[in-house]
Amino acid sequence: MTAKKTGVLLANLGSPTAPTTSAVRRFLKEFLWDPRVVNLPRPLWWVILHFFVLPFRPRKSAKAYRKVWDEKGSPLIFLTLQLTERVAEKLHAKGVTTQHVMRYGEPSIAKQLKAFKTAGIDNLIVLPLYPQYSSTTTASIYDDVIKELNQWRHLPNIHFISDYHQHSHYIAAVAESIEQSWREHGKNELLLMSFHGLPEQLTKWGDPYFHQCHKTAALIAAKLGIDEKQWMIVFQSRFGKAQWLKPYCVDTLKDLPGQGIKKIDVVCPGFAVDCLETLEEIAMENKAVFMASGGVEYRYIAALNDSEIHVDAIVNLLEQKL
């Protein structure tokens, strides 16, 4: 019997091709038109998107991207690539082909699946690099995978890893990154764990994201051996006027100094690699909010990126499906 050939897709959100208004507009047009991302009736959302969002938001977002853009390009893209290359090195000996894909932009899921088909891949593992499941992110990747596979006559075996929010190796990796920061810089008064926000309505509709974020944060705190007074969970990146998951990160940062907490560490366990939301929003913009409100020290702890502990955690997760 011929051994099956396994292909792994590490999937992330995507990024503009350049920190320019036009490139950001193209990216946002694709991203924000996804019905998984914005759950409004299509005709209504088309009007809002084309007349109230796309004419204005790309210019502001492009300015933010320019603050974090690297000579290698978008941090999310090249850090995902570096992580994938290191994972691929470890899985190569097992005969596994590992590639990275983006839900929006390039390299696209459809193109890489076609390449896998040409290469004779008949065992497919898809890992969205979102530890916590959300219908706005994880499910959208699933949709795109199935959209392509629906066109195939001969389907591969498919393993779709929908989340790893309480996977022991992932929890240990995040905890170790925090402890490493504490060893190097000292431990501040409070550890703030910030996750990307979502509209509250999604939780009411059955999206488990909110509960998985809380589970992740509690497990990290337990691994660190800190009590409930030493850490706090918040949600960032609110967009629009609807009620989003609380507590809001920005509001919390404004309030903490007045409560006597003026030195904090901030970590974002929902982001596998650093990106605009961590490098610009959390590390720059939100730091300025905290310091302007009377804060004394604000330290952002980087995402796991392509660190050895992250690579090992991802490999362990994937090996369970081989």
- Per the annotation, does 277 bind a ligand? yes
Contact 9, 112 (CB under 8 A): yes
Instruction: Name the residue among 207, 197, 293 with its Cα closest to residue 244.
Output: 197
End-to-end CA distance of the chain: 17
Q: Are 14 and 137 in contact (CB under 8 A)?
A: no
pLDDT above 70: residue 2:
no
Residue-wise pLDDT tens digits, 185-216: 999 999 999 999 999 999 999 999 999 999 99
Q: Give φ, ψ of 5 to 5 degrees.
A: -100, 125
The amino acid that residue 27 corresponds to is: F
**pLDDT tens-digit profile of 237-286?**
998 888 999 999 999 999 999 999 999 999 999 999 999 999 999 999 99
Q: Is 214 annotated as a binding residue?
A: no
Domains and CATH numbers, the chain: 6-164+308-319 (3.40.50.1400), 168-301 (3.40.50.1400)
Q: Look at residue 3 and tell me whether its pLDDT is greater than 80.
A: no
pLDDT of 232 strictly over 70? yes
CB 193, CB 231: distance < 8 Å: yes
Tokens of 158: 């498919």
Report the interhelical angle of 109-118 vs 138-149 (nearest 10°): 40
Of 102, 137, 86, the residue nearest 12 (C-alpha): 102
| pTM reported for the whole predicted model | 0.97
- What the block records as the tokens of 83 is 């992580």
